Amino acid sequence: QVQLQESGPGLVKPSGTLSLTCTVSGGSMNGYYWSWIRQPPGKGLEWIGYIYYSGSTNYNPSLKSRVTISVDTSKNQISLKLSSVTAADTAVYYCARGSGWYYYWGQGTLVTVSS
Amino acid sequence: EIVLTQSPGTLSLSPGERATLSCRASQSVSSNYLAWYRQKPGQAPRLLISGASSRATGIPDRFSGSGSGTDFTLTIGRLEPEDFAVYYCQQYGSSPYTFGQGTKLEIK
């Protein structure tokens, strides 16, 4: 059974960089796309972007200038970096397998942007 | 960017009743690449339907999806207690992929 687990700091200062890692277990990363999706508290879902296991990426234009998604198949991990964060970036961040529809999700991790 | 509008915002029904949720797109969804998810409080969304009408693995047949182009529907045949949650539609036919704002299905 494929499992995904997000990890990283739960608190980031304004103007700083949010950095999260998603560790994949129970299956290979090869041949799959891996995505990040976020959800502000009490609000809806926003697609951040995806990366193919080989490294090609596709980002949401609304975040493109600030976001970097990377993959390390040797560690079975994908990473998310979001720079110049503001309070509007406070959200639960999910990683998921796939580039379109998402069957496998992580449990999500709450990141709060605050000084 | 395709905007997805879900209606109603809140739907109040009783267990055993039938639920019909709507998702309307601002432009045609390519190849009917539309998915539906159910999200319970504190949990990640769970995939119900992909490709507008294909049930995901392990999803009971009381869930059905239909529609094409700009108008899509999720129907839940007989509501079980675990079905009272928030439902999202999502299009993945054109980037950026987008989600609807959600429909909350609550117990009447």
Q: Which residues contact B76 (CB under 8 A, 6 or more apart)?
A: B18, B19, B21, B62, B63, B83, B105
Between CA A87 and CA A51 the distance in angstroms is 26
Tell me whether residues B45 and A102 touch, CB distance under 8 A: yes
Nearest to A6 by CA among A92, A85, A84, A86: A92
Q: Which residue among B1, B92, B100 sits closest to A101, beta carbon to beta carbon? A: B92
The chain A residue lying nearest B96, using CA atoms, is: A60
> What DSSP state is assigned to residue B28?
P
For range A89-94, the mean pLDDT: 98
Q: Is A2 helix (H, G, I), strand (E, B) or coil?
A: coil
Q: pLDDT category, B108, cuts 50, 70, 90?
A: very high
Determine the average pLDDT of the residues in B46-70. 97
Q: Tell me whether residues B92 and A62 touch, CB distance under 8 A.
A: no
pLDDT band per the 50, 70, 90 thresholds, residue A21:
very high
Percent of chain B with pLDDT over 90: 100
**What pLDDT was estimated at residue B45?**
98
* Residues A99, B92: C-beta atoms closer than 8 Å: yes
Question: Which residues of chain A does B44 touch, with a Cβ-Cβ cutoff of 8 Å?
Answer: 94, 96, 105-108
pLDDT category at B27 given cuts 50, 70, 90 is: very high
CA distance B38 to B84: 9
Query: Which segments of chain A are extended strands (E)?
Result: 3-7, 11-12, 18-25, 33-39, 46-52, 57-59, 67-72, 77-82, 91-97, 109-113
Beta pairing class for B10-13 and B103-107:
parallel
Q: Does A108 touch chain B (CB under 8 A)?
A: yes
B86, B104 Cβ separation under 8 angstroms: yes
Structure tokens at B96: 């950026």
At residue B8, the pLDDT reads 97
Residue A89 parent element (H or E): none
pLDDT of residue A58: 97
Which residue carries 């409080």 as its tokens? B41
Cβ distance of B99 and A44 shorter than 8 Å: yes
How would residue A36 be classed by pLDDT, with cut points 50, 70 and 90? very high
**Alpha-carbon distance A6 to A21, whole Å?**
6
When pLDDT is averaged across residues A97-115 and rounded to a whole number, the result is 96
- Taking the Cβ of residue A40 and every Cβ of chain B, the question of whether any pair is shorter than 8 Å is answered with no
**CB pair distance less than 8 Å for B50 and A45:** no
- A110 near B CB under 8 A: no
